Structure formats: C-alpha cells, structure tokens
Amino acid sequence: MKLSESSDSPAQSNHNQSPTQFHSRPWAASLILTVGLGLLAFGIALSLSFGAASIRLEEVWNAVFHFKPELQNHQIIWEIRLPRILGGVLIGICFAVAGAIMQGMTRNPLADSGLLGLNSGASLAMAICFALFPGSSFLQLMLYSFVGAALAVVMVYGTSSISKSGLTPVRLVLAGAAVTALLSALGDAISLYFDVGQDLAFWYAGGLSGIKWVQLGIVLPWVVAAFIGALMLSRSITLLSLGDEIALSLGQRTGVVKVVGMILVLILAGAAVSLVGSIGFVGLIIPHITRKLVGVDYRWIIPCSAIMGALLIVFADLAARMINAPEETPVGVLIALIGVPFFLYLARKERRAL
C-alpha cells in the first residue's frame, strides 16, 4: 500500500482502516504552505516595523538589505527586532514539528514535548547551569539543555520499553508524568536551594526579547538539520501513525524510525527550550489543527505544522508587544491564552478514549 499524495481518490480507502483516516488533502496543504509563507512574510514585516520606535516599512527594507550601522533605526531593526523575530520563527518550527513527530510516532493526540517530560529535563539542565555554572555561554546552555531533554527521553522510553507490553500510549504518558514530576522536583530543589528560581523565571518569561544573533547562529544549524531529518522521516512516521503492526507488516523498521524520530524531537525541543524556556501548547495544538486541515500524511503535516507554528509565535509575539505597550507580556502566557480555550474545545470534542 502506498500513501500517494492524491489520496482523495476512493482507491485510497484501505480495508484495514476506515477511508476517513487516510484522508489527505494535498491541495489544502499546498494552500497552507503558500498562503502561510505569504502571511509569515507579512507578519515578519509588521513585526519589524512595529515597536517602541515605529519604523516605516521602506526603512525596514533598507535596514535589512542595505544596512547602515550609523543609523539608529537600522541598528534597532538589525540588532534587536530581526534576531527576535527570526528566533520566534525558529522556536515555532521547533515546538510544532517536535509535537507533530511525537503525536505521529506515539499515536497519542496528547503527546507533546511538555507532557513527555522533555521540557522539564531541559529546564532541569538550565537550573543546574544557573546554580552551579553561572557564567555559562549560550552554546553551553543549549548543549546542557539537549542533555537534559535526552535524559528525560531515555527515562521515559527506557521505562516504557523495558516493560513486557511495550510502548502503549497510556504507559508513555504515565512515564512522562512521573519523569516530569521527578525532574522538575530536582530542578525546583536546586533553584530553591541556590536561590536562582526567579532568575530562571525571568529567563523563561523574558522569552523572545532576549534572543541574540549569536544564539541564533548556534541554534540554526541544529534546527535546519533536524527539520530536514523530519522531512526525510515523514513517510515512515505516517506509517507508524497507523500502528506498529501495520507499519511492521509494511516493512518498516519501527525501532530505527522511533529512535531517529526521538533524536530529532530532542534536538528540536532542547534547542527551543534553551532559547525561550518551555512554551506549552504549540506542540500540542498546531499538529492537531494541521491534521484537521491537511489529513494524515505526515509528508504534508510536518512542513505545514512548521509554517503554522512559526505563524502562531510571530503573531503572538506581535500581540504580546501591543497589549500592554511599552511593557511586554511573556509570549508563552499569550499562547496559553489562545491555547487553553482551544485545548478545552478539543477536549469537549474528543470522543476517543486515551
């Protein structure tokens, strides 16, 4: 069986699955990709010109493409706004794609890097850094954050995979809850003991405004590599999302796919957490919406999730700067504000048992 991109045709309905589950809408996906890119460009432009100093779009264009260091507005755009906005795009992509991969692989609509403990692992690593190595560079922070996320993944997957009945979605979430409790307890204990709790809170809540070119330069190659990896893995993820048995019978090496997928997820989540801290709901909501719009083929879901995630963060950040200007509202809070009602709406509609 092949999941071709023109799966609107009735020929796609397979006797194993109900036809609706194979629904894939390439035209919707292409629309999202093109319109999404356009909207993203618009959002970025808007974001660049809006702020404490309002700058005309023409000048924004000049600042980006004909940068003159002696002009103050150019400085603002180049040194403050551009890294911040690109950072927003990047973390939107990271959280959304990580969420999409996890939901596909675990067949669990609730899977996201927060629920499975990754964010708490990365946060623990950050707490250790702040408490014990206060002078760490950003590269070190990011690498520790990878290690922390990896620790959580190893624990969650280790627990679930040692057990006889394997990786059921419920087991995975239970293990995630326990690992989250453990790692965040350790993190809290460290930050309370060393009095770095509020510093950490500031770091996390400061969100996008703290992002610098140096950090972007360090994070970017990892994210690009992970994103390309995700695209290459997307077909396998689609098959995995049909269930382990089906994937196996179709010749998938499910073990390899899961390991590679998990590595991609922890690079994405670790990078994003080290940039802005744990922002919930992006990884949960975006893949949900995307699946509703484009169907079940992860070759479409992953790029579309990336675009939509970037859009969500860029516009949320724009709103976060406007709501209470000149003070900033933490972007994570704003996303929760959008995310919670949506999640509650999903919860009301959800008929499947967990």
- Per-residue burial over 83-112, b if 16 or more Cβ lie within 10 Å, else e, is bbbbbbbbbbbbbbbbbbbbbbbbbbbbbb
In the bound state with other proteins, the residue whose beta carbon lies nearer, of 192 and 259, is 192
State the binding string over 224-263 for other proteins (x if CB under 8 A, else -).
----------------------------------------
- Rounded Cα distance, 12 and 118, in Å: 36
In the bound state with other proteins, the residue whose beta carbon lies nearer, of 29 and 335, is 335
- Rounded Cα distance, 204 and 107, in Å: 30
CA atoms within 13 A of residue 220's CA, in its CB half-sphere: 11
State the binding string over 108-137 for other proteins (x if CB under 8 A, else -).
--x---------------------------
Binding residue count for other proteins, defined by CB under 8 A: 53
CA quadruple 185, 167, 269, 92: dihedral sign:
negative
- Rounded Cα distance, 114 and 137, in Å: 25
Q: Which of residues 134-193 bind other proteins (CB under 8 A)?
A: 155, 158-160, 162-165, 170-171, 173-175, 177-179, 181-182, 184-186, 188-189, 191-193
Phi, psi of 18, deg, nearest 5: -70, 150
Beta bridge partners of 295: 24
In the complex, least distance from residue 292 CB atom to other proteins, rounded to whole angstroms: 17
Quick check: 211 binds other proteins (CB under 8 A)?
Answer: no
Residue ranges that bind other proteins, judged by CB under 8 A: 110, 155, 158-160, 162-165, 170-171, 173-175, 177-179, 181-182, 184-186, 188-189, 191-193, 195, 197-198, 201-202, 204-205, 280-281, 329-330, 332-333, 336-337, 339-340, 343-344, 346-348, 350, 352-354
